[in-house]
Amino acid sequence: IRDLSPFTRLASLSLDGNRIERLGPGLKCLRLLKRLSLQGNVLVSLRGLEPLASLRELYVGHNKLHSLA
C-alpha cells in the first residue's frame, strides 16, 4: 500500500480482496484509523501496522499470514 496521505481523517478502511501482498509505509499517515479490514488478500506479514495507535478492529482472515508478530 502506497501513499494514503490525502485521507488522514479516515476512521474505517476496507481493502478486502485486492491481492495486497504487503502493507508498506502507506498506512502510517492514518493516525485516526479505528477499523481496518484486509480480508481476502495475500498478506504474509502485518508489518506496517505499528504506527496505527488508534486501531481497535483489525480483520485479516483469508490471507497467507505466517504469524501475527
CA distances from 48 to 26, 64 (A): 8, 16
- What are the two backbone dihedrals, phi and then psi, of residue 57, each rounded to the nearest 5 degrees? -130, 130
Checking if the pLDDT of 69 tops 90, the result is no
Strand order in the sheet with 35-37: 12-14, 35-37, 57-59
What pLDDT is stored for residue 67 in this prediction? Answer: 77
Cα–Cα distance measured from residue 35 to residue 60, given in angstroms and rounded to the nearest whole number: 11
| pLDDT score for 68 | 75
| pTM to 2 decimal places | 0.92
Reported as a single tens digit per residue, the pLDDT across 5-61 is 999 999 999 999 999 999 989 999 999 999 999 999 999 999 999 999 999 999 999
- For residues 29 and 10, what is the distance between their CA atoms, to the nearest angstrom? 10
Model pLDDT, residue 51: 93
